[in-house]
Every structure is written in C-alpha cells, then in structure tokens.
A and B are shown apart, each in its own frame.
Chain A
Amino acid sequence: MFALTRKMVVLGALVLSLVASGCSSSPSSGNGQSASEPSADGKVELKFLHKWPQPEYAPYFEEVIKEFESQNPTIKVKVEAVADEPMKDKLRVIMGGGSVPDIMFSWSGEFARKFVRSGAAMDLTEALNADPEWKNGFIPASLQPFVSNDKNYGVPLRFNGKFFVYNKEIFDKYQLQKPKTWDEFLQLLDKLKRAGETPIILGNASPWAAIHYLTGLNQKLVPADVRMKDYNPESGEFTDPGYIRALQYLKELKDKGYFNDNINSSSHDMATQMFFAGKGAMMYLELEEFQQVQKSMQAAFDFFPLPAIAEGKGNQNFITGAPDGFIVSSKTQHPKEAIAFLKFLTSKQNAEKLVKQIGWPSPIVGATNTDTALKQVAEAVDMMKSAEGMAEWLDTDVHAKIADSYLSNIQLLLDGTKSPEDIMKEVQGVAQEVKQEVKQ
C-alpha cells in the first residue's frame, strides 16, 4: 500500500516501546523475600515514603536518613513526602501502579489492614521477635493497632491522642475546672456560652475534624465488642442505638450553640489560628499539635480527655487516638535493609530526637518524658499509657466506604440538613454493601 520508510519503522518501534514500558511497570519481582541485589554502583536503594513535607518536620527525617546512610554506606535512602490528605489518594495510586516504595507511611487499624488483606504489606512478626530489645522498646498499645491475625504488619513512629485543649486565661477568668463527666462538661460549656465566650472552636471544612469527636463518642456509647464487630468490614451492621446517640450528642453541642459559627466553611488550620488568638475557650486537638499551641498561643494551656458519659455502654477509660507509622511493601527487594532502617528510625536515640525536635509523642518506652517533651505532652502520654485502650480514628478504623459515608454526612448533621437516624440508616446500608463485597 505505501512504502514504510526507515524513519517510520524507528518511530513506530519507539512508540511501541514507550507503551510497552508503561504497561510492564507492574511488579516484576516474584517474591519479597529474595536476597537483596545491590544496584550497579554497589548501593542498595531504599524508597521511603512519608507524610511530612512541611518545613517544620521534613528536616528531622533528612537528618535521620543522613545519619543512617553514613552508618550504612551500602544503603541509599530515597525519600518522597506528600501531605496528610493527598497521602490517602497517593497510596492507592501507587498500589495500582508498579513502583511501590519499600517503606511507606500508613495509619494503623483498618487503613493498614487493607494492605494486609491484599497482600501488599510484609509480615514483620519474625523480624520483631528476632530482636526482643527492639520489640519491647515499643509501648504495647502502640504496636497492637498494627496487628492483624496475630501478626505484626507495621511499626509505629508516633503515638497520637486527642484532647480538649483549653485556654487557661479564659478558664481562670470564670473559675472553671477540668470536667470529669459529660454533665460537668455541658455545664461548663453553658457557663462559657452565657458569659459570651465561644466555648469550642471547630473547623470542619475537611470533615475528619468532627469525625474525631464521633470517634470518642462512638467508643464511649457503644459496647466495645459490638463496636469491634461493626468496625470489621466482614461483620459490620451499625444497628446499636449507641451510634445514633453519639450523633445526637454531637448535634446537641452544635444546636446549643457551643461551637463557633460557620463550622463547615472554616478549615482546621483557620480554626486553630482563631483559637490561638484567644477567640474561643477550647479546641479538640491532637497531641502532635501541642507544641504548636505552646509556640503560637499567648495564654497558657492545659488539656483534658473526652469526659466520661454516665449512660455510655462503652469503656469510659479509653482515650481517643492511635499510633501511625510505617509498613514495608511485600514486594520489596531489600527486606533486610528496610528493617534495618525501621530499627534505626525507631531507636530510642532517634525517638528522643523526634520528641525534642518536633514535639511529637513517641511510642518508644521512656522517650517521651519531661526532659525531652513539653510538660503537657509527657502528661498526656502517661495518660495514654494508663488508659485501658485506644479508640482509633473512626475514618481510618472502618472500611473506606463506611468512612466516606460518615465523613460526608457529618457535615450535613452539623448544618442541620440530616438527622442522626437518617445518617445511621445510610451507614447501615453501606455496611451491608461492604459486607457482601468483602465476603465474595
């Protein structure tokens, strides 16, 4: 038909090879346990993905990696960092594509179990058992959420809890005390409200902020065994009346005007700025934010956990929070090096450095103390250690689809367009759907 010129053949081949290389990017390594093969320059390259690109956090990782590389000259660590929200998407995208990092960030609980179920996470049990010193270095409650079917699939980097942080100046002005029960809490809020203060600041433009309230409320109002059964995608039903009560408790706070206006259009960052500026008496914050509070707020601060609820059927001595950390890809070519790096990252020395330098509470026994950390952070970690358990973040502890249903509905609860009953009906429907899919 027409003469194929030489150039065209070359061009065609080029295009095809481009396409072929794109297609064949699926994992080529057979099993993850194969011996490590150093690359051409004799160095092993470890890909490391974490979620702290912010200038206040990233340098810590750079320093630790530099130190690790100088101690292990044959290993090179290649870092990539994306922020919190994009991380949820990023992990899904890289799992679909071929180039999975050797070590990657993960939340604990269901978020990590999803990788375990699909065989993407390496079993670390053996490595942990082989080095008791390493294993026993962790506070048990921080290692447990990374366990699935009695096997360890992850290693925690930091231990995070959620507390009501309050502005001492405002509390002192009205002679208020830390509330121990929900009733005391409501009385306190009422006093603040009547005095013309904004009792609680909440920025719910990204709805995880309000979901953290619900995390604790669900835990306190629903019996633990029922809740654990429901949070498991294979058996979730969400029919316990406690779930509706939890939403009603949150709605009550809103309806009585204890929150600031425009909850759904303020971001969490904007809300914290308002709190720092003294425009509200308290805010529900994560332990990792305490250092920021100390730095940015003029007034002194103190904190208390979500108060106990008398009618609640859950354990009232739980604290809301969870560790987050790292999992190792089951496809990694360098399992030994990856574990060596994790050990280095979670060594007591580096844990102390982490606490000191960026103010995060560490899951390593003894690393968070009054020498390394802020007084309040050390106190909170003690509280978490003595708690009877942790209520893990609802949005990472249930199946992604149930989390999505909760997340989008909580905004509608707070702007008054949807009732607790309707929301739970929807969640129940999604739970049924998920149950079907997981079973097949």
Chain B
Amino acid sequence: MLKSSFHNARSALPFILPALLLIVLFVFLPILFNLYYSMFRWSAFERNGVFVGLDYYVKLFQDPIFYTALKNNSLYAVISLLFQVGGGLVIAAILEEKVIRRWQPLFRTVFFLPAVISISVVGLMWQLLYNPEIGLINGALKAIGQTQWMHSWLGDSKTAIYAVVAVSQWQYTGYMTMLFLIAMHKIPGELYEAAMIDGANRLRTFFHITIPQLREMILVGSMITVIGAFKVFDEVYVMTFGGPGRSTEVLGTMLYRAAFRNDEMGYASTIGTAIFVITLGLSLLQMRLAKTGQEV
C-alpha cells in the first residue's frame, strides 16, 4: 500500500506541481511576508518602513478594540452555531417529514435563495429593512401594535452587532439546511422503519438516529460556521463599517480600518496574523475532532 502510493506520488508530482507552486507562491509566502511586515511600521505611501519588532503585538493586546472585535467575532460564532447548525438541522428534519416532503423542493429553494444573493445587495437591503423611519421591521412592529419594540436597529451601539449577526443567520441558515438535507438522504430508511416498529416517536428517532448518523456533517458544518465567523468582513463593512462608534468592529473590519483608513500597514499585518492564528487553531481543532478529515 505504502509502496504503491509512493510510486504513484512520483508520477503524480508533475501534475500536482503547478498547483503546489501556486499555493506556495500565493498562500504560504504571503503568510510569511505578512509576519515579516508586521514587524515594521510602514504606510502605503512609504515603502521603507521602520523596524519595530514585536511592538505591534504588544499594542494589539493592549488595544481595547481588539477585545471588542474578539467579543463580536465570538458572538457571531455562538449565534451562528445556534441558528445555522442547530436551526438548520431542525429545519432539515422538519422538511424530511412525510407530510411536508412533497413540498420540500419549494422550501429548499426558498430557504436557499438568500445564500446566493450578493452580500452587498443583502447589506443594502437590510439597511433599508432596519431603517427606523421607513424600514419594514419597525413598520411591522407598529402594525401589530408593539411600538415599545421599535428601535434604531443599526444606529444604537448597544444593539447594532445583534442586528448585523441576524442578517447572517437569515442568509446562511438555508445553506446549512441544504447540507443537512443531503446528508439525511444518505441515512438508510430501514433504520427509521426499525425504530418505528420498536415504538420510537419522531423526537426519539431524531435524537437517536438522525443526529448520530449526521455526526460528521454536524462537525464539519460547525467548523465552517465558526471559522467563517472569525473571517467575517463584508456584512459588517456594508452595513455599519464597525459603527456606531466601534461597537460592531470585527477582526476583519479592524484590519481594513488599520490598513486603508489609518495607514498603519504594519498593524494591519499584525491583525492579519491574529486572524490567521485563530482560524488555524480552529482548523486544527476540527481535524482533531473529526479525525476522519478525508471524507470532507
């Protein structure tokens, strides 16, 4: 086995090499460069930077905005896990129910649709929906008489981050649902039949058959969601750009602000390294937990 695969590797090398070269040049080298650049103070205007060593790393850990961003990213991760993975799983299970299965294609399309809309469009659309004067959300609350719930959703530094996170749930829960549906179709029907004969109800089959059978998919989905939550940028950029104040700042917008607003390219590189370390850590955790990374 080992021998033959070694032989294969030899003959495969010419085919892999171009891709390998590209990955090294465009992924691994930039990561190293980024580490190097994070030790200099330099701006886009002046190429020759001042060597500052690890100053920026010290600064990063003293920067209160870094902790705001970490908190917001974590919030993103937790809420996304709950809604996208948890909610997606429940929705998928409901769609698999016999009564609804006939309508499944319709619901699948409806739920999946938000995932294919461009994020700028989604951002602008939700900005309108959230608008306190003319937006649909406050309008709906008013229509049902719940005026005490009306709110300046994106304009209040205490609630803005939740408003932004909610949009991601709206957009990607359907995507997760699709992934779970596909995985569910692979579960042998006999398992359910046997359980039914033994007198198990729907809830029991969900917990004792569906979830264990989907274990792999749930792990993968969770990791995609969590890593995605730490890389999030565009939703926040389009809807609030980290504001009001710095209340919705995430690592991505923090990096962007440092680089392209404040001309602190070195600091931006440092933030980039932090994002890299966090996502790498999460990826390693995923491989560890899933063990069978091959199937993905």
A-B contact count (CB 8 A): 115
**A125 CB-CB contact with B under 8 Å:** no
Question: Which residues of chain B from 9 to 43 have any CB-CB distance to chain A below 8 Å in the complex?
Answer: 10-11, 13-14, 17-18, 21-22, 25, 41, 43
Expressed in whole angstroms, the Cα–Cα distance for A96 and B155 within the complex equals 34
Interface size class of B (residues with CB under 8 A): 35 or more
Q: Is the CB of A409 within 8 A of B41?
A: no
Known: A263-B155, A265-B152. A11 touches B18 (CB 8 A): yes
* B-side contacts of A404, CB under 8 Å: 257, 261-262
* B-side contacts of A3, CB under 8 Å: 14
Q: What is the distance, in angstroms, from A282's C-beta to the closest C-beta of chain B?
A: 18
Q: Is the CB of B133 within 8 A of A266?
A: yes
Q: What is the distance, in angstroms, from A14's C-beta to the closest C-beta of chain B?
A: 9
Known: A5-B14, A400-B263. A264 touches B244 (CB 8 A): yes
Known: A93-B260, A265-B153. A270 touches B131 (CB 8 A): yes
Q: What is the distance, in angstroms, from A90's C-beta to the closest C-beta of chain B?
A: 9
Expressed in whole angstroms, the Cα–Cα distance for A294 and B152 within the complex equals 31
Q: What is the distance, in angstroms, from A254's C-beta to the closest C-beta of chain B?
A: 13
A5-26 vs B, Cβ < 8 Å mask (1 yes, 0 no): 1001001100100010000001
Q: What is the distance, in angstroms, from A311's C-beta to the closest C-beta of chain B?
A: 29
Give the residue of B44, B132, B153, B244 whose beta carbon is less than 8 angstroms from that of A415. B244
Give the residue of A11, A95, A261 whose beta carbon is less than 8 angstroms from that of B132. A261
Question: Which residues of chain A from 247 to 278 have any CB-CB distance to chain B below 8 Å in the complex?
Answer: 261-266, 270, 274
**B233 CB-CB contact with A under 8 Å:** no
Expressed in whole angstroms, the Cα–Cα distance for A354 and B28 within the complex equals 51
Expressed in whole angstroms, the Cα–Cα distance for A89 and B263 within the complex equals 10
Q: Is the CB of A115 within 8 A of B244?
A: no
* A-side contacts of B246, CB under 8 Å: 408
Known: A11-B18, A400-B262, A401-B262. A265 touches B154 (CB 8 A): yes
For residue B25, which residue of chain A has the nearest CB?
A19
Question: Which residues of chain B from 115 to 139 have any CB-CB distance to chain A below 8 Å in the complex?
Answer: 130-134
Q: Is the CB of B156 within 8 A of A264?
A: yes
**B46 CB-CB contact with A under 8 Å:** yes
Expressed in whole angstroms, the Cα–Cα distance for A207 and B155 within the complex equals 11
Q: What is the distance, in angstroms, from B243's C-beta to the closest C-beta of chain A?
A: 5
For residue B156, which residue of chain A has the nearest CB?
A415
Q: Is the CB of B132 within 8 A of A114?
A: no
* A-side contacts of B262, CB under 8 Å: 400-401, 404
**B242 CB-CB contact with A under 8 Å:** yes
Q: Can you list 5 A-B pairs, Cβ within 8 angstroms, ordered by A?
A: A92-B259, A93-B260, A115-B45, A264-B243, A266-B155
Extra inter-chain contacts (5) besides given A262-B152, A412-B245, CB under 8 Å: A92-B45, A117-B45, A263-B155, A408-B242, A415-B245
